[in-house]
Amino acid sequence: MTEIPVIETDRMILRGPQASDWEDYAAFRASPRMSTVGGPFNRREAFQQFCALIGHWQVRGYGRWVMTDKETGEFLGVVGIYFPEGWPEPEIAWSVADAGEGRGLAQEAALAARAWAYQSLGWTRLMSLVDPSNERSVALAKRMGCEIGGTFEHPDFGTLTYWYHPGPEAQT
């Protein structure tokens, strides 16, 4: 199976999901934070999503990482490139747990994921799909230099807004 790469940022290790992350992930998916991404989710739904994080890497060759605190190993959220069937194109997706909120960690992780996609996959464009009511994610998209595009209608998730990221030439 594809080995999921490990990325080190200033404050985090981004790595593939492991069985030991399951309880943290289940609590994260059950939280009210999930209301803008189709949740909250019960354990049965969350388990499938958890396993699918790993399978996504195998099917696509890229996927999402678990964000962990470099010092403590604490679970902080999930970030990476998400492209399930029915998505218009691959997106940079981020989702932080309570412990990862308010410290700029989502931005740090999403920037690392974006740089990885441009460098390792050789991609030249990326977008993020954001629920317009998710103000914190809208603010993060703006901080990352994204420009608003059109909207995308998903049968399960409703109307989502395209945010186009700056291309690799804009990376320093």
Partner 1 sequence: MTQIPTVETRRLSLRGPQAKDYPNFKATFASYRSRYMGGPLNPYESWMLYAAEIGHWDIRGYGMWMIHDRATDETYGMAGGWFPAMWPEPEIAWFIWPEKAGRGFALEAVDAARRWLYREKGWEGAVSYLDAYDLDSVRLAERLGAKRDPEAVMIDKDDSVYRHPSPAKLRNSQLSDAIALEIAHYADPRWKPEGWALD
Contact residues toward partner 1 (CB under 8 A) are: 1-4, 16-17, 19, 22, 26, 42-44, 46-56, 58-60, 84-87, 154-156
| Minimum distance from residue 47 beta carbon to partner 1 (Å) | 4
| Minimum distance from residue 116 beta carbon to partner 1 (Å) | 18
The CA radius of gyration of the chain, in Å to the nearest whole number, is 15
Residue with smaller CB distance to partner 1, 3 or 10: 3
* Cβ neighbours around 16 below 10 Å, total: 18
Residue with smaller CB distance to partner 1, 2 or 9: 2
Maximum separation of any 2 CA atoms in the chain, in Å: 42
| Minimum distance from residue 74 beta carbon to partner 1 (Å) | 20
* Cβ neighbours around 24 below 10 Å, total: 17
Sign, CA torsion 110/163/38/49: negative
Residue with smaller CB distance to partner 1, 82 or 116: 82
Residue with smaller CB distance to partner 1, 17 or 138: 17
Residue with tokens 């230099």: 145
